[in-house]
Amino acid sequence: MRGSSEPSGESVVFATSNRGKLEEARAILAPFEISVEGYDGKGIEIQADTTSEIASYASRGASKAAGRAVLVEDAGLYVESLNGFPGPYSAYAFKTIGVAGIIALLRPSPRRRAAKFVSSLAYCEPLGEPTLFEGSVQGAIATRPRGTRGFGFDPIFVPVGGRKTFGELTIQEKSAVSHRADSMKKFAKWYLSRERR
């Protein structure tokens, strides 16, 4: 039984080294009354063909290291005319060619800029099997970086139906449509129904 002085709602540990992701997770899960504790250490990021495999693997290691249930997310930007590149290699592509590199790769095909962000979110208890939640958002690569908000590829991604890049949106605006909101809302519904059992 909860004591009357304890806060209502649930809490969850999010293992990530990315403060932007943590802030977004807090904003997305707050309406579900789920508070988010950061844990610095997603663990080993294997190289694999899908973000879901990377998130699942990392979540096993992170939950073991933390000694508690954790959430781990692996996200990727998939550019259609680049056959889905950088996809599961997005962190490496960001560190090496960056946003300018993605724009440069698209210069020969100015019209074929369709892209999507994918979020694979894995929830894992120590020694347990991960449960996966997938989210995505369709959009396009901007012709030049715009906006100073967010992180990573935000300044070059324009979600479908809008004109602004994620870099020009507030966390609340981005989270109304983002891949991360999509996967995290699925997680929240599952988590709350599971907790009530």
- Residues with a catalytic annotation lie at 74
**Which residue of the chain is nearest ligand ITT when measured via CB?**
152
CB of 52 or CB of 90, closer to ligand ITT: 90
Write out the two tokens for 123: 């929830």
Closest CA to 16 of 182, 137, 180: 180
* Residue from the set 12, 34, 75, 158 that interacts with ligand ITT by CB under 6 A: 75
Q: Facing residues of 124 across strands?
A: 70
Per DSSP, the three-state class of 194 is helix
Residue 153 in the binding site for ligand ITT (CB under 6 A): yes
CB of 27 to ligand ITT, least distance (A): 12
Find out whether 124 and 116 touch, Cβ atoms under 8 Å. Answer: no
* Residue from the set 13, 26, 94, 134 that interacts with ligand ITT by CB under 6 A: 94
Stretch of residues binding ligand ITT (CB under 6 A), selected from 27-35, 103-111, 150-158, 181-189: 150-158
- For residue 94, give Cα distances in angstroms to 52, 99, 101, 151: 19, 7, 9, 11
CB of 1 or CB of 84, closer to ligand ITT: 84
| Rounded-to-integer distance, Cα 71 and Cα 184, Å | 10
- Chain contacts with ligand ITT (rule: CB under 6 A): 16-18, 21, 42, 73-76, 90-91, 94, 117, 150-154, 166, 180
